[in-house]
Structure 1
Amino acid sequence: MEPRSTEQPLILLVDDDVQSARLLERLLEEDGFRVELATNGALAIARLARRPMPDILVTDFRMPHADGIAVARYARSLRPDLPLFFFTGYPDLVARLGRGLEPAAVVHTKPIDYIALSDELRATADAALSDASRATRPSSPFPSPA
């Protein structure tokens, strides 16, 4: 497993609506995230094949070349615990097609409530960084005080 950074979390943002994607990218960066943008599913899959692996995947559902479910399945084949966030106008379809993505993806309906999305991303990133720091902390040879 690749070591995770303890700095700003890296989000791979995937959306074929370039104008909306750039706005969301800017907002996330202002909130302290590092963001890489892919403007279709094929570009997202190509990016996922390189290191470093993103800490979180945020993807649209309907896109050319590969939809968000295909991107998510590929990402999870590389890192089974990768947090997934979808935004879509088709939440029922994403829920049906996304069965088997465990842990389950978080689905946001368009138009996106940015505050809710940002809060969930921050909580997810904080939990992941906390887990990573616990995993890399050396254990003490002395018993804990009772």
Structure 2
Amino acid sequence: MPTADTAPHILLVEDEAFLRELVMEGLQEAGFSVVEASDGTSGVQALQSDVRIDVLLSDIKLPDIDGYQVAEAARTLRPGLKVILMTGYAPSPLPPALQSVVYRVLQKPFSLETLPGMVNAALEA
């Protein structure tokens, strides 16, 4: 089992508290360290901080700034950061500036069992 220092660190940005808690618990049980943000603004603040982040996992539809804007901030503030976006809506094409940044767009609902593998694949990509 990885330690807090060696475990990959995930920034989870999700406004639905229940889903955020489920995803966070699933990732933690799989050995990841998770920092949570309940909206896009908090997510960007985490990106601006010195907290370690290896993967950004963000909902697209958020109440303030959307997941695309959070991913854009990640591209600027932390070049090379792996990004996975989640959406419960029909997928729309990624903005061209994000196509090289976003590893995957997950369609909700998705299986929590497959998430750790997907995060690991993003880290290895």
- Give TM class, smaller chain: 0.7 to 0.9
Q: Is the 8 A contact 2:91 2:107 kept in 1?
A: no
Q: Offset at 1:113?
A: 2.0
Task: Specify which of 82, 95, 103 is matched with residue 98 of structure 1.
Answer: 95
Q: Which runs of 5+ in 2 are unaligned?
A: none
Q: 1:138 is matched with which residue?
A: none
Q: Is the 8 A contact 1:85 1:108 kept in 2?
A: yes
Deviation digits for residues 36-67 of structure 1 (CA, Å, limit 9, x no counterpart): 10000011111111013410000001001110
Q: 2:115 is matched with which residue?
A: 117
Q: Is the 8 A contact 2:12 2:24 kept in 1?
A: yes
Q: Offset at 1:75?
A: 0.7
Q: 2:79 is matched with which residue?
A: 80
Say which one has the larger Rg. Answer: 1
What is the aligned residue count?
A: 121
Structure with the bigger percentage of strand: 2
**Aligned equivalents of 1:41, 1:107: Cα separation in 2:** 17
**1:7 and 2:6 equivalent?**
yes
Q: Is the 8 A contact 1:10 1:33 kept in 2?
A: yes
Q: 2:47 is matched with which residue?
A: 48
Q: Could you say if the C-alpha distance between residues 72 and 118 of structure 1 is closer, same or farther in structure 2, counting changes exceeding 3 Å?
A: same
Deviation digits for residues 98-125 of structure 1 (CA, Å, limit 9, x no counterpart): 3221144311100012233221112333
Q: Which amino acid aligns with 1:107?
A: V
Q: Is the 8 A contact 1:87 1:112 kept in 2?
A: no
Q: 1:27 is matched with which residue?
A: 26
Q: Which runs of 5+ in 1 are unaligned?
A: 129-146
Structure with the bigger percentage of helix: 1
Q: Is the 8 A contact 1:86 1:108 kept in 2?
A: yes
Q: Offset at 1:92?
A: 2.4
Q: Offset at 1:91?
A: 4.7
**Aligned equivalents of 2:65, 2:75: Cα separation in 1:** 15
Percent pairwise identity: 33
Q: Is the 8 A contact 1:61 1:67 kept in 2?
A: yes
Cα-Cα RMSD = 1.9
Q: Is the 8 A contact 1:91 1:107 kept in 2?
A: no
